[in-house]
Amino acid sequence: MANLWGIDKIPFVGNEKGPKEGLAFHYYEPDRVVAGKKMKDWLRFAVAYWHSFCNRLDDNFGDGVAQRPYDGKHYANPEDAALAKVDYAFDFMSKLGAEYFCFHDRNVAPQGDTLRETDKNLDKVIDKIEEDMKATGIKLLWNTCDTFTDGRFVRGASTSPSIDIFEYVAGQQRKSLEIAKRLGAENYVFWGGREGWESIWNTDVKREQDHMAEWFRMCHEYAKEIGFTGQFLIEPKPQEPTTHQYDWDVATALNFIQRYGLDFFRINIEGNHANLAHHSYGEEVRTAVDAGKLGSLDANQGNKFVGWDMDEFPVDLYDTTQVMWEVMRAGSIGPHGGLNFDAKPRRTSFTAEDLFRAHIAGMDSYAAGLLVAAKMHEDHFIEDLWKDRYQSWDSELGKSIESHHETLQSLEKRVLDEPESELMASNKSDHLESVMATINNYIADTLKQN
């Protein structure tokens, strides 16, 4: 492929060598084996087409400032511009060494006057994407259907009070699943940006949720019909753009899946979405792992002081360590998941090089998190804390309770005459300040040695 970005393949230079601000990896060494698996196979990095190639870094108060190598090029029509952008995207991902990408139907191709015309535009771009996937070996982690940008979705898509919208979105969705099958998507994501309420006074919540479940059933039926076996994923977010989104957080989405018997779903968890629901990223991953429902990860972070979706590139080592610790505990990011950078550089990082720098920072931060987590697992640091903390449950009595052999009365009999003062005990896992300080040391020591 032509060197469209004018940048060489990003090398790994290690911790000591190379300028810290240079276009180089300091921790991410794709083929290095960590805890029995190559780094690249633990992390499975993906680039988000919408942010990395479509976002202009505009905000509520200012125009787009992003400088991209396709700016200023003149194409005969929007379709040609869309086709050209595909080559830039694949050159970018090759240089970065990201083996996966993700996209929405509506950010790769322009809309036409009818759904048929839009599908035709889409087909042309998908041909090009397929060609570039073959040429570079880059794979599709997931694609999705944009059912939130267009004005027709103001009142929701599958949960719209208007049946015309439900009908329309069926057509759009069918096409998107067909594309997933064609490109061999490993997963398929549903993010219900406008599925929720602005006010419950005008909203029949139960009826809307029934429609959403019916929608998912139809999607799964169609996938089965065409032989698409990619993992279906729900991506929770509490709000924005909607006041209250139905998939509030992992626990809410799990309840929805269970309530409607939609067992074919797993969860795609995004860091900033977790924060908006007042969870850390690691807490949300824990909830999904414990339920056996981790699917994939949208890697980004919020800002502690800002209450909306910032989509920052993930550089917080506590987050990346916690997330990778959970991933290592689970064995992988779900059966086919990866780390998709659903993130945008800050507005001050507007140059084309900055787009590389931002991804490198994110990839290095996750590689570092993996190394720290691997060391913690190797030492059984957290496992031992848990063992120590719950040791009283490893007794005969603990087993008896856990296997449903005790009653309130049988337990009461044992404690009636115990002195009350003996019931206050703590162990080393409860010295939380020391636990956190040890994690600090793990981060500092592991990174120094690598």
What residues line the site for ligand XUL (CB under 6 A)?
A: 104, 144, 189, 191, 235, 237, 270, 298, 309, 342
* Separation of alpha carbons 281 and 283, rounded Å: 5
Select from Co ion, ligand XUL, none the partner in contact with residue 99, using the beta carbon and a kind-dependent cut-off of 5 to 8 Å.
none
H-assigned helices in 32-101 = 39-43, 49, 78-96
Nearer to ligand XUL, 96 or 189 (CB): 189
Contact 299, 309 (CB under 8 A): no
Select from Co ion, ligand XUL, none the partner in contact with residue 442, using the beta carbon and a kind-dependent cut-off of 5 to 8 Å.
none
Nearer to Co ion, 312 or 342 (CB): 342
Select from ligand XUL, Co ion, none the partner in contact with residue 301, using the beta carbon and a kind-dependent cut-off of 5 to 8 Å.
none
Scanning 15-23, 56-64, 174-182, 339-347 for contacts with Co ion by CB under 5 A, the matching segment is: 339-347
Contact 413, 364 (CB under 8 A): no
Selected from 91, 132, 270, 326, the binder of Co ion by CB under 5 A is: 270
Tell me: does residue 298 bind Co ion (CB under 5 A).
yes
* Separation of alpha carbons 209 and 408, rounded Å: 39
Please report how close the Cβ of residue 275 comes to Co ion at its closest, in angstroms.
13
Nearer to Co ion, 189 or 361 (CB): 189
The verdict on whether omega for the bond into residue 19 sits within 30 degrees of 0, i.e. cis, is no
Please report how close the Cβ of residue 242 comes to Co ion at its closest, in angstroms.
15
* Separation of alpha carbons 62 and 26, rounded Å: 34
Neighbour-count burial for 321-331, b at 16+ CB within 10 Å, e otherwise? bbbbbbbbebe
Nearer to ligand XUL, 237 or 336 (CB): 237
Q: Kindly report the backbone phi and psi dihedral angles of residue 168, in degrees, each rounded to the nearest multiple of 5, phi listed first.
A: -60, -45
* Separation of alpha carbons 78 and 304, rounded Å: 39
Select from ligand XUL, Co ion, none the partner in contact with residue 189, using the beta carbon and a kind-dependent cut-off of 5 to 8 Å.
ligand XUL
3-state class (DSSP) for residue 353? helix
Residues in the chain: 450
Please report how close the Cβ of residue 20 comes to ligand XUL at its closest, in angstroms.
30
Nearer to Co ion, 297 or 368 (CB): 297
The pair of structure tokens assigned to 373 is 């987590």
Q: State the residues that interact with Co ion by CB under 5 A.
A: 270, 298, 342
